[in-house]
Amino acid sequence: MELRPGQVAVVTGAASGIGFAMARRFAADGLKVVLADVEKAALDEAAAELRATGAEVHARVVDVSERDSVMELAEAAYDAYGVVHVLCNNAGVGSGAEGRMWEHEPNDWKWAFAVNVWGVFHGVQAFVPRMLAGGEPGHIVNTSSGDGGIAPLPTASVYAVTKSAVVTLTESLYAHLKAEHARVGASVLFPGPHMLRTGLWESHRNRPERYAKQRPRRTPYRSLDQWEAAMKEAGQEVRFTSVEEVADFVADGIGEGRFWLLPESEHSDRQIRARSQSMLDRSDPAYLERFILD
């Protein structure tokens, strides 16, 4: 699909991080952008920044975990512009789970799945039928992660499980669109290849009461800056990929019609090979052993 001025892009989780970078890139290409986010103050600021560049912007507070909220987003987008060409199901949260899996609070899983998996599914159901009925070229990008999408990081297992689900969901979506001979394509995004500075580390700031923790955390939430400082103190250098680089990668991938929006990375390739070989050999997942805690 060729991105052209006048087309319409919808981005969830658009008030900051990767979502805002994608919206900014689409706007720079002349697209009209629909920004959706659960955090109103940040959303208003993002919309104002884009409008100051001359972009045509529609902003709406949306909780992607709620089906009705996403359905209302679709109604608003089509009422405003009559068409949607690009849908980026990008909103995501970290779960805040601690300890071993059997010690996790069910609400940590419920919240992460509500946003990271159900949020994508709600986006598909709200927009894809309309995109197909419109008959114009379109594209859907679902944001996954190397953590889970490629191989799980056991210390962040809840998040990994949700992002693994996003990959399978998008593979299935791709097959269904092909079976319909649709002019709408699908891609799964693995942001990277390095760490990103996003608000994911502070996801708890937007955690709704219905998914509240039932007991206090044993340790305080750690910010990205604190984690980076701890890594440096341990003698490990942390490399970062800019969100702008990810946004450019997405725009280029849409233009090229690529399903796997997976940046080149020796680390990722090693994980893919190790996991695939373990399955082919029917052997234990030794590629996880370096993550196993004492």
| Helix, strand, coil abundance in the chain, percent, nearest 5 | 55, 15, 35
Kindly state the helix (H) or strand (E) to which residue 245 belongs, with its residue range.
helix 243-256
Helices 118-134, 67-81: crossing angle, 10 deg rounding: 30
Kindly state the helix (H) or strand (E) to which residue 131 belongs, with its residue range.
helix 118-134
- Say which residues have a Cβ less than 8 Å from residue 188's Cβ, sequence separation at least 6: 141, 142, 143, 144, 149, 166, 167, 170, 171, 259, 260, 261
| pLDDT over 80 at 257, yes or no | yes
pLDDT, residue 55, reads: 98
Helices 106-116, 157-179: crossing angle, 10 deg rounding: 30
Confidence of residue 287 (pLDDT cuts 50, 70, 90): confident
Neighbours of 223 (CB within 10 A): 11
| pLDDT over 80 at 291, yes or no | no
- Distance separating alpha carbons of residues 150 and 144, to the nearest angstrom: 9
**More confident site: 199 or 244:** 244
Residue 254 pairs with which residues in a beta bridge? none
| pLDDT over 70 at 292, yes or no | no
Confidence of residue 230 (pLDDT cuts 50, 70, 90): confident
- Residue pLDDT, tens place only, 84-106: 999 999 999 999 999 999 999 99
Kindly state the helix (H) or strand (E) to which residue 125 belongs, with its residue range.
helix 118-134
Confidence of residue 234 (pLDDT cuts 50, 70, 90): confident
Query: For all residues of the chain together, what is the average pLDDT?
Result: 95
Measured in whole angstroms, how far is the alpha carbon of residue 113 from the centre of its chain?
13
Q: Is 111 helix (H, G, I), strand (E, B) or coil?
A: helix
| pLDDT over 80 at 162, yes or no | yes
- Residue pLDDT, tens place only, 260-280: 999 999 999 999 999 999 999
- Distance separating alpha carbons of residues 19 and 91, to the nearest angstrom: 8
- For 42-111, where are the E strands, in sequence order? 57-61, 86-89
Confidence of residue 53 (pLDDT cuts 50, 70, 90): very high
Q: Is 159 a catalytic residue?
A: yes
| pLDDT over 70 at 290, yes or no | no
In this structure, are residues 82 and 58 in contact, taking their beta carbons and an 8 Å threshold? Answer: no
- Domains in the chain, start-ordered, CATH in brackets? 8-263 (3.40.50.720), 267-294 (no CATH)
- Distance separating alpha carbons of residues 84 and 69, to the nearest angstrom: 17
- Residue pLDDT, tens place only, 3-48: 999 999 999 999 999 999 999 999 999 999 999 999 999 999 999 9
Please state the rounded mean pLDDT for residues 227-237: 84
What end-to-end distance do the CA atoms of the chain give, in Å?
49
Catalytic residue selected from 81, 159, 174, 287: 159
